[in-house]
Amino acid sequence: MFALLGSCRLELAQGDIAKQQVDAIVNAANDRLAGGGGVDGALHAAAGPSLMQETDQKYPDGCPTGSAVPTGAGKLTAKFVFHAVGPIWRGGQSQESEQLVSAYRTCLDLAVEHHCESIAFPAISTGVYRYPKDLAAELALGTIRDFLLSRQQPKLVRMVLFDGGTYGAFARVLESMLA
Ligand code: ADP
């Protein structure tokens, strides 16, 4: 499923974020950039050790929640990995929505800054961080839509959803956004 926003394309795909052929891949990292399971585990496994070496060296203090930092992409075909730190869901009254929006926006800014034509996002915070998928979908897709409409770059933004349930949640939100 996709939406055209001016000359940009926002698309939803079901699959593995580590297999995407795009200029920048977004990681769902933790604030210590310490590695983990889920998206983080899949990306580090596919990219090789250079990713962790680079985050250790460049970002010894980690990355604050709601932000993101760039590295090279090791053995991945992408040019960059943007390590984004989404919020842990604590019920919705602890700045979670602002932090989630800010994580997406920082990655989009990094994509423009690094001249990336295409970027792939996982559904940040919807795994072990337990952000409700429908709420995360509204914030993620709304933030991407607003950014593309105002900036007209990057040309392709792909949300890569791992399972059918998450794909369904994002597809429902995108559909209502287009209606
Ligand atoms: P977070 O800690 O931000 O919640 P997770 O990696 O635990 O990050 O999960 C984020 C989302 O990514 C979840 O919806 C999870 O199902 C999904 N996911 C897990 N592995 C992959 C993968 N290899 N590719 C794409 N999405 C994945």
pLDDT digits 0-9 by tens, 63-120: 999 999 999 999 999 999 999 999 999 999 999 999 999 999 999 999 999 999 999 9
**Does the CB atom of residue 42 touch ligand 1 within 6 A?**
yes
The confidence score (pLDDT) of residue 178 equals 87
From the list 16, 40, 56, 134, the catalytic residue is 40
Q: Percentage helix, strand, coil, to 5, in the chain?
A: 40, 20, 40
Separation of CA 162 from chain center: 13
Say if residue 179's pLDDT is above 90. no
**Does the CB atom of residue 71 touch ligand 1 within 6 A?**
no
pLDDT tens digits, one per residue of 127-141: 999 999 999 999 999
The confidence score (pLDDT) of residue 148 equals 98
**Short-list 71, 23, 29, CA closest to 50:** 71
- Mean pLDDT of all residues in 30-50: 97
Helix, strand, or coil here: 98?
A: helix
CA 149 to ligand 1 center in whole angstroms: 27
Please name the CATH architecture into which domain 2-178 falls. Answer: 3-Layer(aba) Sandwich (3.40)
Q: Is 134 a catalytic residue?
A: no
**Does the CB atom of residue 162 touch ligand 1 within 6 A?**
yes
Q: For the chain, how far is it from start to end, CA to CA, in angstroms?
A: 14
- Which atom from ligand 1 is nearest to the alpha carbon of 17? 24
**Short-list 5, 55, 47, CA closest to 25:** 47
Q: Is the pTM of this model over 0.75?
A: yes
CA 137 to ligand 1 center in whole angstroms: 13
- DSSP assignment, residue 94? S
**Does the CB atom of residue 73 touch ligand 1 within 6 A?**
no
Say if residue 25's pLDDT is above 90. yes
Task: Report the chain's C-alpha Rg in angstroms.
Answer: 15
**Does the CB atom of residue 38 touch ligand 1 within 6 A?**
yes
> Scanning the structure block, which residue is given the tokens 């795994």?
127
Residues β-bridged to residue 121: 159
pLDDT tens digits, one per residue of 112-123: 999 999 999 999
Pocket test for ligand 1, best of 100, 121, 162, 166 (most atoms within 8 A of CB): 162
Pairing of strands 68-71, 118-121: unpaired
